[in-house]
Amino acid sequence: MLRFKLKTSTDKLLVIVAAIVAFIPTIVAELGGVEIPQRALLAIQLISWGGIVVLLDQRSRCKQYIEQAAERLGFKPTKGDVGVQLEELLGKTSRYHEASHNFALERSIDGKPLGSSLREIAEMTHRELGAKAVELSLFDKESGLWSQAIMLGSPDSVNTQGMLNDASGEGRLELVTDNQGSVTVEELSFAGSLFGALRVEMDKGEQLSVEDREVLKLLAMSGALLLGDSRFTEELLVMKRLGEESLKAKTGFLANLSHEIRGPLSVILNGAELTMDGLCGPVTDSQKDTLKMIKDNGDHLLELVNDVLDYAKVEAGKVSAKPVEILVGELIKDLLTLVRSQVTLKNHKVVTEDIDETLGIVCDKRHSRQILINFLTNAIKYTPEGGTITVGAERVRNGMAKIWIKDSGVGIPLEHHSKVFGAFERVDERYSNTQSGTGLGMPLTRKLAGVNEGSVDFESEVGQGSTFWVNLPAIEIDSRSSASSEKDEKANKSQSGKGEKVLIVDYNPDTREMYDRYLSHQGFDIIQASSGRDVLKVIREEDIELAVVENDMPDIDGEDMVLAIRANPKVSSIPIILLSSKAFVFDIEHFLKLGVDRCLTKPVELSELADTARRLIDETFEA
């Protein structure tokens, strides 16, 4: 049933118009003497009055909807025409929208400065509320003090600072008004954090309406969100700076660790290598076994140090790949030779599946070896004695080569799969806990694969073993040309010195003696120097063709030594090999910029030192 009342003048006017329209035909017929059928007159009247009824009903419904919307938004509906009520509703919702959304959205998009946005909030508060004065104050959580940030208008009341001073120890404020009800304070707070307050002072005798208070709350919320976002950004920047400082400190610590360990480790490994080669006199089989045990464990210690350092390099973004073409079959064959003693010790069986002779990968050579050695050593370690290790490779989709290592070991429980590639993580299992390691091998493997545009993954089942694989960019390589180049490389490695005079600069007499004995055995004429003064004397008296310089000299830094040699016209062009305990890429780049031809990281294998010396002398002579 239609229900409406004629409440407004507009409604009454519509009824009058409808009445006029309904009776116009009758009046025209009477005055003009025209006879109009009764049915036509009745139809015209029904249409007129029906249209008015429908129109009045729709106006009544529209008015009802406007009043309901106003109530839901917390407005007090105004009496009056529908048009007036609708205009008021739109005006109030527009105020609410501006107060609650504009500032945060505008700043997030345009990157507007915080101070400018806060001033706009104060200006909008002053304008929208018709305030006599508006003050925006900020609260410092650390000191517990308030400070005036923005003041607009001319305040009469002096109550604000008293309100701020009376705040609790946490800076909390209540919604306060003065005795005349003309001053209102609204907190700028969000998620339990207080950032400041908005103080609004009206003219004497005026107070904020319910709608005005809602607008004030929304403006205060906008300010709190802006301040909260700013504080959050500042905290992120502080955390980022602290993280960078922590990373720098960690990298520095690892560099020092490398320096302290590599020095003595170099003497141990070089001494064992020198003695095993018989350059210190006859060696019995029993002594060789003991020396091999020393060298193997020294190499293992070096691998652990390298894992820690390499992981730190990757984390610091200091590792980059130098991709080369590598024949997969030859790479696997070489690595299986390296782990043969470990395989024999545990009585494992190694099976190599057929691998395409032309299958190659594009990867940093050292990285490819690290990745697969980690897979192989883990397969050996986590497989009880008498197990089987299977190695294979194949081309897969997307131009990648998949190299995989499968073992018949203990396997990894499903709940521990997420730990496998985590730094310093170890699977908590009885057999696994008996195995040694830093817990960095697998996460380093994943990162090195990523540096070389590859990926690693695995599948495992408890009691059935595990299969780990790496996918790397594939390439087809002519195995015959590769074998020929390797043969030439081996031939070059067999070459020794031809009486060239090589200067060894090192303050440690034991290290000098080891280098002297090995390089002399290789055919070089060695001259030793233990200080900068000795170096200058040798340069004056001898015709040096190559210098091997220890970076850590007590009386003169290795870098200064290099500069001194380069500054002497007599030896300015001779090749220089710098031996350093600093293993980071940026250290090596720094040394090379000084004029060093090669930088070898200690401990350096004596054979590598001899090969490097040979190549540098040949390159200099050819040039």
Which amino acid, residue 431? Y
- Kindly list the distances between the CA atom of residue 236 and the CA atoms of 190, 223, 312, in Å, as whole numbers in the listed order: 18, 20, 23
Q: And the tokens for 550?
A: 């220890």
- pLDDT recorded at residue 172: 47
Rounded CA gap, 448 and 350, in Å? 25
Q: Which residues contact 76 (CB under 8 A, 6 or more apart)?
A: 70, 210, 211
Q: Which residues contact 36 (CB under 8 A, 6 or more apart)?
A: 25, 26, 29
pLDDT block averages, 10 residues each, the chain of length 623: 49 59 60 61 63 63 67 63 62 59 48 76 85 85 73 68 44 47 81 84 82 82 78 61 65 66 79 82 84 78 71 66 90 84 88 92 89 89 92 93 94 83 56 50 84 92 92 85 52 67 88 88 91 87 90 74 85 88 65 81 84 87 59
Q: Please tell me the CATH superfamily of domain 91-236, with its number.
A: GAF domain (3.30.450.40)
**Using an 8 Å Cβ cutoff, are 135 and 199 in contact?**
yes
Rounded CA gap, 304 and 438, in Å? 7
Residue 330 phi/psi, 5-degree rounding, is -70, -35
- pLDDT recorded at residue 161: 45
In this structure, which topology does domain 320-490 adopt according to CATH? Heat Shock Protein 90 (3.30.565)
Q: Please tell me the CATH superfamily of domain 495-622, with its number.
A: Response regulator (3.40.50.2300)
Q: Which long-range contacts (CB under 8 A, 24 or more apart) does 161-164 make?
A: 163/199, 164/137, 164/197
Rounded CA gap, 224 and 220, in Å? 6
The length of the chain is 623
**How far from the centroid of its chain's Cα atoms is residue 344's Cα?**
42
**Using an 8 Å Cβ cutoff, are 612 and 604 in contact?**
no
- Kindly list the distances between the CA atom of residue 113 and the CA atoms of 190, 456, 597, in Å, as whole numbers in the listed order: 20, 45, 52
- pLDDT recorded at residue 59: 64
131, 167, 133: which is closest to 151 by C-alpha?
A: 133
pLDDT tens-digit readout, 253-289: 766 666 677 777 877 888 888 888 888 888 888 888 8
Residue 589 CB-density burial (10 A; 0-12 exposed, 13-18 middle, 19+ buried)? exposed
Rounded CA gap, 345 and 576, in Å? 42
**How far from the centroid of its chain's Cα atoms is residue 467's Cα?**
29
- pLDDT recorded at residue 108: 46
- pLDDT recorded at residue 254: 64
- pLDDT recorded at residue 105: 44
Q: Which residues contact 418 (CB under 8 A, 6 or more apart)?
A: none
- Kindly list the distances between the CA atom of residue 165 and the CA atoms of 13, 98, 190, 343, in Å, as whole numbers in the listed order: 61, 31, 21, 77
Residue 476 phi/psi, 5-degree rounding, is -95, 130
